[in-house]
A and B are shown apart, each in its own frame.
Chain A
């Protein structure tokens, strides 16, 4: 009787509510990921097919310095993007969060709308704008600032611009949400107690919005580690990052076990970084918007 009651009161609703998401995650995340790990221990057939016999080959390949270099380079680029997005995004998020709610939600929407158009098209726009015979070069030449056109396209600078414009919203949204939650009275109290604005910011605002900053870091850092369209389009395909390399293994090069091993490595690295980070910062949940 009691047991039945408990089932009805507790187990059934828990199953109904947490069930679908658990099932979805197990079917479409856990299983595929396990399969990726499994494939990473297989070997590659002549024609790029997966041959199902156990081998360490893929992981041995990873010991090659080439991959070490790519990973270091990719992490560095992603880190720079993240830091720049945070520096640019925090004041922006702060500005929006201090607006009345009605206005703020409109401003947030205004950030997202460009993302309803296609990202490749937006990247292409930068190329059209900055290319040798493009409007910016022409303007600079006509006004006499420069004699010969500057080569903006296919440079690291343009790649960075592309990365930042693609990632900025994902930095702004979580920070906006945590700044918005800050209670005004706390800040006022701090000011009343004679704290300088700088002290208030460093001692109160920054620590309290830390969960938002943490989410921003994850939402910017991880995708920029894996993104390959920006470097392909704006970097001219000269430099490969880890995202390109993985994509190539599953595409042009057709070495799925190696691609899988690289993926596993990437998951381990990002997982480790996040683990250390959460331990260090004592953060439990992340927030997005």
Chain B
């Protein structure tokens, strides 16, 4: 009797949890949905719904400036992710494992980009770049993005390093593997989930960044968020909505494709085996 009561309660709790989560996802996705709908809005700026059109998609393909800036954003985000995760991974291992002078200082410095409002760091970097005559452009934006991504990446990875990995590493070294082999074969696999999370987080932080990119952008091209920020005064044109819609579709397609490819690989493996 008691068991079924518990089961009932569990089921009921599961239902409440599901409803609650669906509600939160709905709130997170409503703006995205509205954005997609308004990509078909027949109006110069998105003031209100004014009828259906697909003209913004055609305009998008003739006006390469918008696409260029998206491409620019994606390149920066990918590079920032790779750099931050690389530096973050070896840095996390180094800071956790080795005792050295100034370790505490570096540890504290890592928290600065997290606790300082982004605008402050952005301005600080801008001033330094101007002082030394470093030309603004992709390089400056990339450095800016890495500066706030590295701490997040490092902290994320550090949280996943457990103490018992060391003995395995020692064993590997004793058995004659060199440090790089040990790193690739032993250390890296053990912290892989953390590395993945860090990559994910870095990419997200970089692709949606406005403050840093706006401060450090040069003359040639700007990231998509900066372009949208400059549109904000007069109004955002629906071709940006069209672009965002395509982006979302690309993400969804990538996920589906990814899954399909994995399934296919599994199948071929199964038939071989």
Contacts and interface: CB of A to CB of B under 8 A. Distances in A.
Interface stretch (A61-69, A112-120, A148-156, A200-208): A112-120
A43 interface: no
A288 B113 CA distance: 14
A134 B100 contact: no
A260 B185 CA distance: 47
Interface of A is mostly: helix
The interface centre, meaning the residue of A30, A36, A96, A107 with most chain B CB atoms within 10 A of its CB, is A36
A34 B248 CA distance: 41
Interface string B88-120: 101101110110101100100111111111111
Interface string A5-28: 000001101101111111011101
A20 B147 CA distance: 12
A29 B112 contact: yes
Nearest to A173: B201
B185 to A, nearest CB: 16
A10 B32 CA distance: 51
B117 A288 contact: no
Contacts of A113: 248, 251
Interface in B103-144: 103, 106, 109-121, 123-125, 127-128, 131, 143
Nearest to A225: B117
A235 interface: no
A114 B35 CA distance: 11
Contact of B119 (A16, A95, A122, A247): A247
Contact of B113 (A29, A121, A128, A274): A29
A111 B27 CA distance: 11
Contact of B115 (A16, A124, A270): A270
Contact of A274 (B49, B115, B131, B210): B115
A144 B23 CA distance: 25
Contacts of A114: 28-29, 31-32
Interface magnitude class on chain B: 35 or more
A128 B27 CA distance: 15
Interface residues of A, number: 87
A243 B17 contact: no
Contacts, number: 248
The interface centre, meaning the residue of B123, B127, B228 with most chain A CB atoms within 10 A of its CB, is B123
A219 B114 contact: yes
B264 to A, nearest CB: 19
Nearest to A244: B119
B208 A32 contact: no
A54 B85 CA distance: 41
B119 A228 contact: yes
Interface string B191-233: 0000001101101100110100000000000001100110010
Nearest to A111: B28
A125 B248 CA distance: 15
Q: Which 4 A-B pairs have the closest CB atoms?
A: A226-B117, A17-B94, A21-B91, A32-B124
Interface of A: 10-11, 13-14, 16-22, 24-26, 28-33, 35-36, 39, 88, 91-92, 95-96, 98, 107, 109-126, 128-129, 131, 133-135, 165, 168, 173, 177, 218-219, 222-223, 225-229, 233, 242-243, 246-247, 250, 256, 259-260, 263, 266-267, 270-271, 274, 285-289
Given A25-B112, A250-B119, A288-B197, 10 more contacts: A16-B94, A17-B91, A18-B91, A20-B90, A32-B128, A33-B112, A118-B225, A121-B240, A126-B34, A263-B119
Interface of B: 17-18, 20-21, 24-25, 27-32, 34-35, 38, 46, 48-49, 87-88, 90-91, 93-95, 97-98, 100, 102-103, 106, 109-121, 123-125, 127-128, 131, 143, 146-147, 150, 152, 154-156, 158-159, 179, 197-198, 200-201, 203-204, 207-208, 210, 224-225, 228-229, 232, 236, 240-241, 244, 247-248, 251
6 contacts: A19-B94, A91-B20, A116-B204, A226-B120, A267-B116, A270-B115
